[in-house]
Chains A and B, each alone.
Chain A
Amino acid sequence: MTARRIIALLLRLGLGGVFVAASVPKILDPAGFSRNIFHYEILPGNLVNAVAITLPWVELLVGLCLIAGFRLRGAALTAIVSLVIFTAAMSSALARGLNIDCGCFKTSGTPLGPERILGDLALLVAAVLVYRWSGATGPGASAASSFSTQPTHVARPGT
């Protein structure tokens, strides 16, 4: 196993673990998470609970897929999109001077600060690497570029 494959494996396991760890407290306390979302003052009030009910489950599935290597590029893509949205929401809240709970790993006691945004950006880099390194497949791709358990996409010329 090459160093790159090991790094890629650790990245997706780490990223998956973070997504699972972030989702569980929100699943256990949807009311608290809905207050977290409401305090960002981004979504209209009547959409807040719908997001609080569904988003943690998407996070959980993404995390489990990353850990299991199942639908890896799809999971990495979902992670990228969600991390971009989270980072934008946190940056917006900080720019508006809101002093609120982040709602990142716990539903209380985690104040929003610049370090949370840096953490999200680091996760975003990891997600992009997981997406890229799990994508190149086929006869021309190096062994290190694919660590998915998904069947590789190989086409052969026909007649």
Chain B
Amino acid sequence: MTTQLDPGMRGQSPVPGRRSFRDACGLVLFGILFGIAANALSPRGIPWVGDFSRGAALANRSEEELKELPPVVELADVQTAVAAGDSLLAILDARLPEDYVAGHLPGALNLSVDNLDEFYAPLKAKLERMNRIIVYCDGGDCELSHDLAEALKSYGHKRVQLFAGGIAAWTEAGEKLTEGVEP
């Protein structure tokens, strides 16, 4: 006995699973082709092989964008600021609350960029009184502090500085972290 397909099914695989796999491959292939075409035509297109060094990231920014970047503070400056306990300086930890609780710079407040509006509201009045704000995250490739610095600038805070070394540079220097929810 043989199996005969309905006319509407001619040319289609007789095994549904195989047909799904074929459709999935087709979708991926079309997606790749659309991506290639869009990247070639779009002014936002990127090279096929990227350079992810910090120098390359800065080189790709326009002069205007470079002016907008928050100034970077060094470890020694942060150590001095923490030791001095300046009441007009706010140090902000841009990481998730659980990371903050596990260990943060002494005196730092948590302002996670996740749900920023919710976290920012109770700190707004305090931050507006500060004449200097330092933001940090883990250091290395962590971008949360960059995002927070940009958000704070968009909220109107002018003296926002970035401690790019973050937690990594702080602990490597032998400095201690504060655990818990309190600054």
- A positions within 8 Å CB-CB of B: 27-31, 34-35, 38-39, 41, 45-46, 48-50, 52-62, 65, 71, 73-78, 81, 98-101, 108-111, 113, 131, 135, 137, 151, 153-159
Determine if A50 and B137 form an interchain contact, defined as CB atoms under 8 angstroms apart: no
Closest to A116 in B: B114
Q: Are A74 and B144 in contact (CB under 8 A)?
A: no
| Docked-complex contact A135 and B16, CB < 8 angstroms | yes
* Residues 132-175 (chain B) with a chain A CB within 8 angstroms: 137-138, 141-144, 146-147, 151
**Given A31-B60, A77-B21, A157-B3: A49 touches B27 (CB 8 Å cut-off):** no
Q: CB within 8 A of A113: which of B16, B32, B46, B96?
A: B96
Minimum CB–CB distance from B4 to chain A (whole Å) comes to 4
Would you call A54 and B35 a contact (CB within 8 A)? yes
Consensus secondary structure, chain A interface: helix
Given A31-B44, A38-B52, A54-B36; A71-B27 close (CB under 8 Å):
yes
> In the complex, what residue of chain A is closest to B42 when comparing beta carbons?
A30
Q: Which residues of B contact A (CB under 8 A)?
A: 1-6, 8-9, 12, 14, 16, 19-24, 26-28, 30-32, 34-36, 38-39, 42, 44-50, 52, 57, 60, 95-96, 98-99, 112-114, 116, 137-138, 141-144, 146-147, 151
| Chain A residues with CB under 8 A of B46 | 30-31, 34, 49, 52-53
**Quick one: given A71-B27, A74-B24, are A111 and B44 in contact (CB under 8 Å)?**
no
**Would you call A56 and B35 a contact (CB within 8 A)?**
yes
Residue of A30, A62, A137 contacting most chain B CB atoms (<10 Å): A30
Name which residue of chain B comes closest to A47, CB basis: B49
Q: Given the complex, which residues of B lie within 8 Å of A41, measured CB to CB?
A: 141
- Report chain A residues within 8 Å CB of B141: 38-39, 41, 98, 100
Chain B residues whose C-beta falls within 8 Å of the C-beta of A54 in the assembled complex: 31-32, 35-36
Rounded to whole angstroms, the CA-CA distance of A105 and B105 in the bound complex is: 30
Closest Cβ of chain B: how far from A97's Cβ, in Å? 8
Among B45, B47, B98, B144, the residue within 8 A (CB) of A101 is B144
**Minimum Cβ distance to chain B for residue A98 (Å):** 8
Smallest CB-CB separation from A41: which chain B residue? B141
How far is A113 from B128 in the complex, measured between Cα atoms in Å? 29
Kindly list chain B residues whose C-beta atoms are within 8 Å of the C-beta of A154. 6, 9
Residue of B nearest to A33 (CB): B46
Bound CA–CA A157/B6 (angstroms)? 10
Instruction: Report which of B5, B38, B98 forms a contact with A155, defined as CB distance below 8 A.
Output: B5
Partner of B50, one of A49, A55, A98: A49
Query: B151: which A residues are within 8 A, CB to CB?
Result: 109
User: What 3 A-B pairs are tightest by C-beta distance, nearest first?
Assistant: A74-B23, A58-B31, A54-B35
Q: Give the residues in chain A near B50, CB-CB below 8 Å.
A: 34, 38, 45-46, 48-49, 52
- Given A34-B46, A110-B114, residue A61 in contact with residue B144 (CB < 8 A): no
